[in-house]
Amino acid sequence: MKKKLVYLFLLLWVCCNQVQIARAQFAMTNVYGRKYVLLNGKWDVIIDPYLHGHKDSIYKDKPLKSKSDFKEYAFEGGVRLNVPGDWNSQYPELKYYEGTVWYARHFSIKRNSDENVFLYFGAVNYQCTVYLNGTKVGGHEGGFTPFQINVTDCIVSGDNFLVLEVNNYRNKDAIPALLYDWWNYGGITRDVMIVKTPQLYIDHYFIQLDKYKPDLIHVKVQLSEKRINENIRITIPALNVLRQLSTDSTGMAQASIKVKRLQRWSPQTPQLYQVQLATRSDTIKEELGFRNLYVKGKQIYLNGNPVFMKGISFHEEIAQRQGRAFSQQDAVTLLSEAKALGANLIRLAHYPQNEYIVRLAEKMGFMLWEEIPLWQNIDFTNKATLQKALTMHTEMIMRDRNRCALTFWGIANETSPSKSRNSFLKEIINNCQKMDTTRLLTAAFDKVKWNGDTQTFELEDTLTEYLDVISINKYMGWYHPWPIKPSEISWNICPDKPLFISEFGGEALYGQSGDATVASSWSEEYQEQLYKDNLEMFISIPNLTGIAPWILFDFRSPYRFHPLNQNGWNRKGLISDQGYRKKAWYVINEFYKRH
Ligand code: GCB
């Protein structure tokens, strides 16, 4: 009997806690188009490597009740960190820190009874639990995608106390996993907001031009509740579009709308249109572009014309600040250098980067490649890891599928064929196809083999069958010595599909001159020659659809040990950590001017 009571008590305890924990939700479409208040700025933090904070329930704002009462902690008067911002670059002691940090702040709001209130986080790396006014309200895993928590029932008019427990441990079952070639910046690295919506609001929408037809716009809108026969008005004033849609029993409305005199978005003319959606209680606006995108044979077609991808990659990092990029100003810094290089496509390496970058890139006429960090070493046998990948993937697609600039969904980077890898990645591909059929699917492969008999590069990987474009990372002249002269090398990889060189390059320390034939000189001359050699090889690839050198800027990585030439930096940048262009930059700039 006693045992039974204990079980009952335990069950009750678990249930009560479960009820309290609202799961983080997928963020609503276009959060920047909503009514919001930013909670950015200085937050108080407690650094907690031993995970001691739970014992003291430091997420509760406990007042002292008597003279004998005391607290062995306080948020106020201690370390303060900027939000957004990684912790590593803000405090010298936290440069290499991988552990837990508690973030806290007070904020004040005025509640109206007829609205929903959400907490929105652009990204928190890597895992977090959120507490509002002493109650656990949700949690999230994954450092590069947004999430929201509906706090309508626990937020109060006046002062509120918000606490986040954030950790950036690396884990075997995580995405990315234990080892990767970039800095593990921890913290609340993107905007935090309070978002208010009416009770019935527009939750998601997906608006884009038909894959092939230049005059047909497809619209899908989902309300927050399953309400039938609700009217939704879509207007695009510059195209004389004004259409009433009506929801079905799931609260969803859709239509295909014929338009006249549409100027399609392209890198040369990145035309965007004001689009507005309105219900009887909610209105939301944003600028959208429209374009056709498909593959025919070995070519990618944008608006019916073959397009050559003049790509470049960068991490979400400002090298000079040695920290994560997070602001509009940071986006300008990164993208203006990509523009100066002459690129028309950016591979956002190796994870979804912040919305300032994505939206500004679209305005500036860049096509985009976006991927979640399925980067080598992923545990493809682990079902929980697959679930995490599907969630991250969905979060990425839901955030960005209205961006016409999005050209590629990258499925994975440098994976080895195996049964478990194939079934894992096929699930990701299915998820993509379910949510969005207007993008090209690709993956970066690196298991390319040299066939000495035919003097040809080849790839055997059945995953290629499921992709529109095959992408190859190949570091000739750096990790692999040249087997014969670059101009004599042939490529025979998926000859009927477009082939994209998604990574190539080599390291050079800015300002270091040396022998152009000796890799270990780490010189600008060697890197410059390596670029010339690779371009010479690439131009004879029969199904070449574009290239993306690795990488625009030198970036920080604890993976890079060479004390003189690297010292914690990957030096493959065309631009140094101090912002100077290396000799190889000019080789690519010339090449892009000619193509
Ligand atoms: C790769 C990876 C990239 C690395 C790069 C390198 O293949 O995709 O993330 O940084 O090589 O520099 O080795």
158: pLDDT strictly greater than 60: yes
373 CB-near residues (< 8 Å, 6+ apart) = 144, 175, 176, 180, 350, 351, 413
Of 111, 210, 211, nearest to 153 (Cα)? 111
- Ligand 1 geometric centre to CA of 350 (Å): 10
**How far does the chain reach from its first CA to its final CA, in angstroms?**
81
pLDDT at 323: 98
Please provide the DSSP assignment of 547-570 as one string: E--S-SB-EE-TT---TTTTSSEE
CA nearest ligand 1 atom 10, residue: 181
- Percentages helix, strand, coil for the chain (3-state, rounded to 5) are 20, 35, 45
pLDDT at 380: 98
Per-residue pLDDT tens digits for 461-470: 999 999 999 9
pLDDT at 61: 86
Of 533, 521, 515, 520, nearest to 584 (Cα)? 533
Token pair of 91 as six digits: 């405090």
SS3 readout for 321-358:
HCEECCCHHHHHHHHHHHHHHCCCEEEECCCCCCHHHH
Cα 380 to Cα 43, 86, 215, 429, distances in angstroms: 37, 29, 42, 14
- Ligand 1 geometric centre to CA of 463 (Å): 21
- Ligand 1 geometric centre to CA of 241 (Å): 46
Confidence class for position 56, pLDDT limits 50, 70, 90: confident
The CATH number of domain 309-594 is 3.20.20.80: yes
Residue in the structure block whose two tokens are 């994954």? 142
Rounded average pLDDT over 327-350: 98
pLDDT at 253: 98
pLDDT at 23: 58
Confidence class for position 283, pLDDT limits 50, 70, 90: very high
Diameter over CA atoms, the chain: 86
Per-residue pLDDT tens digits for 64-90: 899 999 889 999 999 999 999 999 999
295: pLDDT strictly greater than 50: yes
Rounded average pLDDT over 361-374: 98
Mean pLDDT for the chain? 95
Weakest-pLDDT range from 20-29, 384-393, 476-485, 565-574:
20-29
In this structure, the strands spanning 202-209 and 216-223 are antiparallel
Confidence class for position 62, pLDDT limits 50, 70, 90: confident
Per-residue pLDDT tens digits for 202-230: 999 999 999 999 999 999 999 999 999 99
pLDDT at 537: 98
CATH class for the domain made up of 211-291: mainly beta
Atom of ligand 1 nearest to the CA of 181: 10
pLDDT at 4: 54
Q: How far apart are CA 350 and CA 123, in angstroms?
A: 15
Atom of ligand 1 nearest to the CA of 572: 12
434: pLDDT strictly greater than 50: yes
Rounded average pLDDT over 4-15: 46
SS3 readout for 277-328:
EECCCCEEEEEECCCCEEEECCEEEECCEECCEEEEEECCEEHHHCEECCCH
SS3 state at 484 = coil
Q: What residues line ligand 1, using a CB cutoff of 6 Å?
A: 181, 350, 413-414, 446, 473, 503, 550, 570, 572
Q: How far apart are CA 28 and CA 44, in angstroms?
A: 28
In 10 A of CB 61, how many CB atoms? 15
- Ligand 1 geometric centre to CA of 303 (Å): 32
- Ligand 1 geometric centre to CA of 580 (Å): 21
pLDDT at 63: 84
Q: How far apart are CA 536 and CA 522, in angstroms?
A: 21
pLDDT at 21: 46
Per-residue pLDDT tens digits for 502-547: 999 999 999 999 999 999 999 999 999 999 999 999 999 999 999 9
Rounded average pLDDT over 188-196: 98
Dihedral angle over CA of 341, 343, 348, 354, nearest 10: 80
8: pLDDT strictly greater than 50: no
Of 40, 72, 70, nearest to 58 (Cα)? 72
| Superfamily of chain region 18-60+74-198 | Galactose-binding domain-like (2.60.120.260)
Helical pair 524-538 and 583-594, crossing angle rounded to 10 deg = 20
529 CB-near residues (< 8 Å, 6+ apart) = 477, 516, 517
pLDDT at 3: 52
Confidence class for position 6, pLDDT limits 50, 70, 90: very low
pLDDT at 2: 52
CA nearest ligand 1 atom 13, residue: 181
pLDDT at 14: 41
pLDDT > 90: percent of the chain: 94
Which mutation among 415, 473, 480 tests ligand 1's pocket best, with the greatest number of atoms within 8 A of CB?
Answer: 473
Atom of ligand 1 nearest to the CA of 478: 13
pLDDT at 544: 98
pLDDT at 64: 87
Atom of ligand 1 nearest to the CA of 182: 10
pLDDT at 9: 45
Which mutation among 314, 348, 372, 503 tests ligand 1's pocket best, with the greatest number of atoms within 8 A of CB?
Answer: 503
Residue in the structure block whose two tokens are 């406990």? 62
5: pLDDT strictly greater than 70: no
Amino acid identity of 203? D
Rounded average pLDDT over 275-281: 97
Rounded average pLDDT over 362-367: 98
Listed by start position, the domains of the chain span 18-60+74-198, 211-291, 309-594
- Ligand 1 geometric centre to CA of 121 (Å): 29
Please provide the DSSP assignment of 201-254 as one string: -EEEEEEEE-SS-TTEEEEEEEESS--TT-EEEEEEGGGTEEEEEE--TTSEEE
Rounded average pLDDT over 303-307: 98
- Ligand 1 geometric centre to CA of 181 (Å): 7
- Ligand 1 geometric centre to CA of 516 (Å): 22
pLDDT at 18: 41
582: pLDDT strictly greater than 60: yes
In 10 A of CB 394, how many CB atoms? 17
CA nearest ligand 1 atom 3, residue: 181
pLDDT at 359: 98
pLDDT at 169: 98
